[in-house]
Structure 1
Amino acid sequence: MTPPTLPQPLRRAGRRRTLLGAALAVALTASLAACSSDGSPAPSSGTASAAGPVTLEFWTWSLKGSDPAAKAIVDKYHQLNPNVTVKLSEVGGTTETASKLLAADQAGDTPDVVQIEYRGLPALVVAGAAKDITADVAGVKANVDANIWAQTTFNNQVYGVPQDIGPMVLTYRKDLFDKFGVQVPTTWEEYAKAAEQIHKKDPDAYIASFAANQLEFFAAHAAQAGAQWWSTDGSAWKVGIGSEASLKTADFWQDLVQRDLVKVEPLLTPEWNAQVNNGKILSWAAAAWAPSVIYSVAPDTAGKWESAPLPQWTKGQAAVPFLGGSTYLVPAKSKHAKEAAAFAAWLGASDEGSKLLLGLDLFPGANAGRQATLTHEPPKLMPQQKDFYQVTDQVIKNTTIPVTWGPNVNVAQTAFGDALNKAALDKSSFRAVYQATQQAVVADLQKSGYTVTQ
């Protein structure tokens, strides 16, 4: 399959976000052919060339010091690089990590490698807190597919090494789908019909929960329908949260909520966990990491689940975005930036490092790690589904819809989540929430000095 050309989301605006009279967003388009193996430099060994002993502080939530798999990764790197010591510092999710990094950047005392979700990277690039590591990763560029590098590449400059990816799938209770005579939906229309069947068979059961605070999911769902919540248009940003294609997805979920065919419940609450354990929430449209999350809260249901490709808006249109996943960035003020970039390149993009990431229950972004999944045991949640990784690998090959994240995702999150949850409970307009979020995001971009076109 010839991959399409993907748009790049933003250019680096330096340390000042507001430059009055200047358009800070540019239309960025990079050819995936330039990221192919043809003419690529020879892969780097990933070995750092430290003149003396160096300690790298690594902020991460995936590699926990108490995890034997994480220790094995760090020990291996120490073996390959005796002069480099990697010190793991456990941090929270992207919001907490980004705030801490910006504070550290202002203080001039940053760590050396930071794990951040893809959606959080643009704002850090705009703030000048992330280093351009294009030259540092040139040797491993061919080790990761271009549609994955696209998540960390802005204006043809690389600001992060992909750690893991989230090919979107539908993870569902196969035993209960079979019991209720429900076919696995391949389109969202079929999904709505399946929701009707399930709720009719068991009034206490739902095909899924409606978690209004999952901004990434709703952005991905809108992208499937042809909307881009952020994109570039010439020298300006364009916001499509309130576009008709996006509002179509708002109407879809409002219909299911109003007919009580999905359960209005945030993910991973005690109530959600209990309903999953009791067979009252029967599926989760998320990414390939969903089985490990479900297993963590409902281990006794293992063997009853399977995963299938995500439903589509148009039957036979096998194209979905990635959902979630993280990257390793090097802070602009790292005191050991060269060694940090070498470690990030080894861990995320080398054959050895990406295979070791499998031990963390991640879906590696690099080709070697992806290939290793094909012979890997399926997730503990579905030990009987031997083709789990074949299914997800095919999804990756069909992941041709890019999701561009703008520099003010946090504004959208604040405007969107609580308002959509209130609308779901009050049965008020979802469209109004999307349109209000659009207005808030546009106003913030304009206030920050960006040109915005509608």
Structure 2
Amino acid sequence: MLTAALAVALAASLAACSSGDSASPGTASANGPVTLEFWTWSLKGSDPAAKAIVDKYHQQHPNVTVKLSEVGGTADTASKLLAADQAGDTPDVVQIEYRGVPALVVAGAVKDISADVAGVKSGIAPNIWALTTFNNQVYGVPQDIGPMVLTYREDLFDKYGVEVPATWADYAKAAEQIHKKDPDAYIASFSAAQLEFFAAQAAQAGAQWWSNDGNAWKVGIDSEPSLKTADFWQDLVQRDLVKVEPLLTPEWNAQVNDGKILSWAAGAWAPSVIQSVAPDTAGKWEAAPLPQWTAGDPAVPFLGGSAYLVPAKSKQAKEAAAFAAWLGASDEGSKLLLDLDIFPGGNAGRQATLTAEPPKLMPQQKDFYQVTEQVIKNTTIPVTWGPNVNVAQSAFGDALNKAALDKTSFRAVYQATQQAVVADLQKSGYTVTK
């Protein structure tokens, strides 16, 4: 663990960084040949696009060899990294989702790379750097971002006479229309395990599940704005207007293929996920801005995305930070990330999307990236993740799924999660205020 003073400092809210620096991030491998072990799931060694990216870096830095090691999602990777940190044998670069960064920072498992990325600060917008910044210290280079959109079956919305919902009230009405026209069809599934989605919903409605006030944490999972979003989803579940089904199960995949699940409110990465499980539906989907809780207020948080972190015990930390800076924040690197079918966080990659072909799922929607660029500009709601997101996930997902199946109180789940998170923070030595 970090010292108590540093832990308090790291508890501060996400802070945006300035973007005026223009110096070079430095040349890697100044001390001779090095091999960087890179734990990632976006850059798969079997993917020609990933190999081309690594080869490009090798050409420019012949003394640096990047070795790709495919790992699971954030939970698996974070636990493996903590174990490796304790053993003193860590990789050099690690891909972690934004929600998993605070716990690793507080545990002292990742390095402050502020000085290492100073030369590429202007390559990423401040609201995106904020995702990896704590108390003005940068702990990761953003890879991709999740501007929130509604990905929907445009053909079936037309068939059922459903307007694309501008507000969540419109969304509920659209859910009624769809289910009335086809009792086997639903506007969406209800996946209780998606903690980030429900946290984003609460943030969009005016709540913050974690926030920091001076030297203490505040937890707002059971705040009234948050509970109102719980009421909204409980109403849809109880009226059988959304399908209680986890994402990406064989059942969910089949229903998406059969046109029985008609939309997914998620990040702009959703089209590539749907394409992977329902490629035959390509050309039938479109994307629109996320529905609003308050009509006329387009402000949203980001949902999902990940960053490149340098473990504190990396034996090649300088070279690792240089590679991460090149890949995520340089003009060349962030443009190359587009080839991986992800939404790059770097300015150059974002700009390149505006002239890129739309996702394979929706080749006919030529303005897809114009829509998402406007959403990014409206992404003005910061989301602070606390150091015990794993506790919230454990308390929340299964309990909410049970409540959905048993038709018991969603509010009670949110309140119980609040209690569990607060108790854990206090047990860990943090001050928690109301």
Query: Fold match, TM over 0.5?
Result: yes
Give the aligned partner of residue 179 of structure 2. Answer: 199
AA aligned opposite 2:12: L
Do 2:14 and 2:382's aligned partners in 1 also have CA atoms closer than 8 Å? no
Question: C-alpha separation between the residues in 1 aligned to 2:360 and 2:46?
Answer: 20
Give the aligned partner of residue 111 of structure 1. Answer: 91
Give the aligned partner of residue 58 of structure 2. Answer: 78
User: What is the correspondence of 1:44-59 to structure 2 with a 5 Å cutoff?
Assistant: 44=24, 47-59=27-39
Q: Deviations over 1:317-374 (max 9, x none)?
A: 1111100000000000000000000000000000000000000011000000000000
Q: Secondary structure at the match of 1:48?
A: coil
Question: C-alpha separation between the residues in 1 aligned to 2:265 and 2:23?
Answer: 36
AA aligned opposite 2:254: A
Give the aligned partner of residue 396 of structure 2. Answer: 416
Do 1:22 and 1:449's aligned partners in 2 also have CA atoms closer than 8 Å? no
Q: Secondary structure at the match of 2:170?
A: helix
Question: How far 1:41 sits from its partner (Å)?
Answer: 2.2
Question: C-alpha separation between the residues in 1 aligned to 2:10 and 2:108?
Answer: 17
AA aligned opposite 2:366: K
Question: C-alpha separation between the residues in 2 aligned to 1:447 and 1:25?
Answer: 19
Task: Confirm or deny that 1:271 pairs with 2:258.
Answer: no
Question: C-alpha separation between the residues in 2 aligned to 1:274 and 1:294?
Answer: 11
Q: Deviations over 1:267-324 (max 9, x none)?
A: 0000000100000000000010000000101000000000000000011111111000
Identify which of 309, 326, 329 aligns with 1:346.
Answer: 326
Do 2:15 and 2:134's aligned partners in 1 also have CA atoms closer than 8 Å? no
User: Which ranges of structure 1 fall in alignment gaps of 5 or more residues?
Assistant: 1-13
Give the aligned partner of residue 369 of structure 2. Answer: 389
Q: Secondary structure at the match of 2:77?
A: helix
Identify which of 24, 27, 37 aligns with 2:8.
Answer: 24
User: What is the correspondence of 1:68-217 to structure 2 with a 5 Å cutoff?
Assistant: 68-217=48-197
Give the aligned partner of residue 8 of structure 1. Answer: none
The percentage of aligned residue pairs carrying the same residue is: 85
Give the RMSD, CA atoms, in angstroms.
Answer: 1.5
Identify which of 215, 221, 224 aligns with 1:241.
Answer: 221
Give the aligned partner of residue 35 of structure 1. Answer: 18
AA aligned opposite 2:2: R
AA aligned opposite 1:199: H
AA aligned opposite 2:363: P
Question: C-alpha separation between the residues in 1 aligned to 2:379 and 2:227?
Answer: 22
Question: C-alpha separation between the residues in 2 aligned to 1:50 and 1:95?
Answer: 34
User: Which ranges of structure 2 fall in alignment gaps of 5 or more residues?
Assistant: none
Give the aligned partner of residue 362 of structure 1. Answer: 342
Question: C-alpha separation between the residues in 1 aligned to 2:26 and 2:362?
Answer: 35
Question: C-alpha separation between the residues in 2 aligned to 1:350 and 1:46?
Answer: 12
Question: C-alpha separation between the residues in 2 aligned to 1:446 and 1:273?
Answer: 41
The TM-score, its normalising length taken from structure 2, stands at: 0.98
Question: C-alpha separation between the residues in 1 aligned to 2:71 and 2:181?
Answer: 44
Do 1:45 and 1:350's aligned partners in 2 also have CA atoms closer than 8 Å? no
Question: How far 1:234 sits from its partner (Å)?
Answer: 1.7
Q: Deviations over 1:106-148 (max 9, x none)?
A: 0001000000000000000000000000000000001100000
Question: C-alpha separation between the residues in 1 aligned to 2:53 and 2:187?
Answer: 39
Identify which of 319, 327, 352 aligns with 2:299.
Answer: 319
Task: Confirm or deny that 1:15 pairs with 2:2.
Answer: yes
Question: C-alpha separation between the residues in 2 aligned to 1:67 and 1:23?
Answer: 39
Do 1:26 and 1:233's aligned partners in 2 also have CA atoms closer than 8 Å? no
Give the aligned partner of residue 256 of structure 1. Answer: 236
Question: C-alpha separation between the residues in 1 aligned to 2:248 and 2:91?
Answer: 31
AA aligned opposite 2:349: G
Question: C-alpha separation between the residues in 2 aligned to 1:356 and 1:301?
Answer: 27
Identify which of 263, 266, 284 aligns with 1:283.
Answer: 263
Question: How far 1:42 sits from its partner (Å)?
Answer: 1.5
Do 1:23 and 1:449's aligned partners in 2 also have CA atoms closer than 8 Å? no
Give the aligned partner of residue 61 of structure 1. Answer: 41
- Assess, with a 3 A threshold, how the Cα gap between structure 1 residues 23 and 397 changes in structure 2: closer, same or farther: closer
Question: C-alpha separation between the residues in 2 aligned to 1:289 and 1:22?
Answer: 35
- Assess, with a 3 A threshold, how the Cα gap between structure 1 residues 30 and 412 changes in structure 2: closer, same or farther: closer
AA aligned opposite 2:80: K
The TM-score, its normalising length taken from structure 1, stands at: 0.94
AA aligned opposite 1:73: I
Do 1:148 and 1:365's aligned partners in 2 also have CA atoms closer than 8 Å? yes
- Assess, with a 3 A threshold, how the Cα gap between structure 1 residues 271 and 31 changes in structure 2: closer, same or farther: closer
Task: Confirm or deny that 1:407 pairs with 2:354.
Answer: no
Question: C-alpha separation between the residues in 1 aligned to 2:27 and 2:405?
Answer: 54
Q: Secondary structure at the match of 2:151?
A: strand
Do 2:25 and 2:117's aligned partners in 1 also have CA atoms closer than 8 Å? no
Question: C-alpha separation between the residues in 2 aligned to 1:291 and 1:22?
Answer: 40
Q: Deviations over 1:191-212 (max 9, x none)?
A: 0000000000101100000000
Question: C-alpha separation between the residues in 2 aligned to 1:144 and 1:63?
Answer: 20
User: What is the correspondence of 1:224-239 to structure 2 with a 5 Å cutoff?
Assistant: 224-239=204-219
- Assess, with a 3 A threshold, how the Cα gap between structure 1 residues 387 and 22 changes in structure 2: closer, same or farther: closer
Give the aligned partner of residue 5 of structure 1. Answer: none
AA aligned opposite 1:317: D
AA aligned opposite 1:28: A
